[in-house]
Amino acid sequence: MNGALRGFDRLYGLELVSFSDTEVRAQVTVRDELKQPAGLVHGGVYASVAESIASLATALAVLENGDMAMGMANSTSFLRPVTEGVVHAHATRLHRGRTTWVWDVRFSDDRDRTCAVTRMTIAVRPRPDGQPARLP
């Protein structure tokens, strides 16, 4: 599953753990390249993971209708810094509409403390070519 990841997801190191159209688990292993100047995991990493897993789960679900999915709004709150170990992400779907899906993503550290939360809105639109997509 992770062999298919490329581009930015590969750059920062997204690892998918499990996957459905209502729930996704993923993780990122902390390394210095993911930190901001004070030594904490950069806030953009959380936002990136939320964007990727919510978009991917939505995209896979809607492509059989000839639709595509893309991030529309990403609202992330940072609650507790992470400096080492693994950042765990758990996305749950809040809403499945015709034109938007909404997901909540909770990020936790290795002690299962909530470190950040994202509300992610994904737009669902007809694919320009109207064809079912190849899997990413």
Catalytic residues: 51
Q: Tell whether residue 37 is a contact of a second copy (CB under 8 A).
A: yes
Q: Tell whether residue 74 is a contact of a second copy (CB under 8 A).
A: yes
Dist. CA 103–CA 129, nearest whole Å: 27
Dist. CA 72–CA 86, nearest whole Å: 27
Dist. CA 111–CA 7, nearest whole Å: 30
Nearest to 116 by CA among 20, 38, 28: 28
Answer yes or no: are the C-beta atoms of 101 and 124 closer than 8 Å: yes
Q: Tell whether residue 114 is a contact of a second copy (CB under 8 A).
A: yes
Q: Give the other-Cβ count within 10 Å of 95's Cβ.
A: 11
Q: How far is the CB of 59 from a second copy (least distance, A)?
A: 8
Q: Tell whether residue 51 is a contact of a second copy (CB under 8 A).
A: yes
Q: Tell whether residue 104 is a contact of a second copy (CB under 8 A).
A: yes
Q: How far is the CB of 30 from a second copy (least distance, A)?
A: 11
State which of positions 14-33 bind a second copy (CB under 8 A).
Answer: 32-33
Q: Give the other-Cβ count within 10 Å of 30's Cβ.
A: 20
Q: Tell whether residue 85 is a contact of a second copy (CB under 8 A).
A: no
| Interface positions with a second copy (CB under 8 A) | 6-12, 32-38, 40, 42-45, 47-49, 51-52, 55-56, 59, 68, 70-81, 94-95, 97, 99-100, 102, 104, 114, 117, 119, 121, 123, 125, 136
